[in-house]
Amino acid sequence: MIDIKFLREDPETVRQNIRNKFQDAKLPLVDEVIALDRENRSIKQEVEDLRALRNRLSRQIGMLMGQGKREEAAAVRAQVAADADRINELSAREKTVEEEIRRRMMLIPNIIDPSVPIGRDDSENVEVQRFGEPKVPDFPIPYHTEIMERFRGIDMDAAGRVSGNGFYYLMGDIARLHEAVLAYARDFMIDKGFTFCFPPFMILGKVVEGVMSQSDMDAMMYKIEGEDLYLIGTSEHSMIGKFIDQILPEKSLPQTLTSYSPCFRKEKGAHGIEERGVYRIHQFEKQEMIVVCRPEDSMAWYEQMWKWSVELFRSLDIPVRQLECCSGDLADLKVKSCDIEAWSPRQQKYFEVCSCSNLGDAQARRLRMRVKSEDGRSYLPHTLNNTVVAPPRMLIAFLENNLQEDGRVLIPAALQPYMGGKKELLPG
């Protein structure tokens, strides 16, 4: 959510930003907010004037009564009563207008960074650079669930009987590999100076509203029936929500946290064969990183955070590339975002495994987070998030890139301590 003062003073920039995101249907919101804001300020001024008048008239009543002018005092009392009714009427309207302003402001997208490429959707995202040499072996790479089945490591049929489509059982070495990746990612971020956290896996509606747009919430979130609680789609939601209604001392910044959680997502719609299996599912686990920092530091953190994703994947012998998200692919709260995509030897293309985002002060404004500097100044911090690793997709990239022609899967040195010293997995 942008600052209404910014919209008031520079509405054309807000309109152009909406056009850049190809959301022209939202253009009328700008004029609607301006009109409502004008009415709201007019109401506030009239209420302020009426209250000042009421104070003067109240003093006048006392003077008239002291002079024995009861009839004149009664007339003034009647005016005070009428003004009180008007104040109540205006106050009620003020609440309605402010709610209408807020509702519209929540729909207006955040101002994107000037460096973001302009494009309609993810087909116009821009490759920035590659890390590691993408290779295609001279033997066929099976579908990822077939690789797992060779190790007796997955049972999607049983999961379907228990939970329906979009779930899985992981077992044996594949389950251990899943946990090893998470443990390695946890320690990787701790070594970078981040504090490890276990967050709540359910959050209140006001937190959901604070961390994401309505459209994203409808597409992703599962609501607990009969409760004002939602299952998190990523631990970023509860980690940023941790700071709702808080005033942070500036000396406590940056807040750097890394968190483990299960994630729950609706994942509506039909998807191609390569997005079945464990690629696009309703429940998975993830290690996340979030940063709360001073506005002037957020872009430096953004650059550092996605580079850590590259470092982690390269330590596991997985080639990756950085893809800059274009304007039309950015969620409404994001200022700038990039994806880290892993190489798939089977598909001979890259696919998304991490997403790094700078949200500016949008989440802070929605959650009423503030920072207080040592000189007493108050301001909104910036928030950022990035996937450290999400094992379902990581497992696909890991297995495909480390599979050998004889069916073995090599374990990179970085992961061996988390696999009991194993250097390879043997199908059985």
Strand order in the sheet with 378-379: 247-249, 370-372, 378-379
- Averaged pLDDT score across all residues of the chain: 93
Strand 283-293 vs strand 255-264: parallel, antiparallel, or unpaired? Answer: antiparallel
The whole-number average pLDDT for the span 192-205 is 96
Torsion of CA 33, 35, 38, 43, to 10 degrees: -100
Distance CA 240, CA 206 (A): 12
C-alpha distances in Å from residue 56, one per residue of 49, 59, 75, 76: 11, 5, 14, 10
Hey, how many other C-beta atoms are within 10 angstroms of the C-beta on 370? Answer: 16
Indicate the SS3 state at residue 251.
Answer: helix
Provide the pLDDT confidence category of residue 276 given band limits of 50, 70 and 90.
low
Q: How confident is the model at residue 71, as a pLDDT?
A: 83
Res. 271: pLDDT tops 60: no
Q: Give the domains, in start order, of the chain with CATH numbers.
A: 4-105 (1.10.287.40), 122-425 (3.30.930.10)
More confident residue, 273 or 153: 153
Q: How confident is the model at residue 343, as a pLDDT?
A: 97
Positive/negative CA dihedral, 258, 259, 260, 262: negative
Nearest to 359 by CA among 371, 367, 351, 349: 367
The whole-number average pLDDT for the span 59-87 is 84
Q: How confident is the model at residue 274, as a pLDDT?
A: 46
Distance CA 25, CA 21 (A): 11
Lowest-confidence region among 162-171, 205-214, 265-274: 265-274
The whole-number average pLDDT for the span 264-293 is 79
Provide the pLDDT confidence category of residue 268 given band limits of 50, 70 and 90.
low
Tokens at residue 321, please?
């590339």
Nearest to 365 by CA among 218, 244, 233: 244
Q: What are the tens digits of pLDDT across the range 141-158?
A: 999 999 999 999 999 999
Nearest to 418 by CA among 87, 192, 186: 186
Q: How confident is the model at residue 398, as a pLDDT?
A: 96
The whole-number average pLDDT for the span 33-49 is 95
Q: How confident is the model at residue 318, as a pLDDT?
A: 97
> Which residues sit opposite 351 in a β-bridge?
342
The whole-number average pLDDT for the span 68-97 is 88
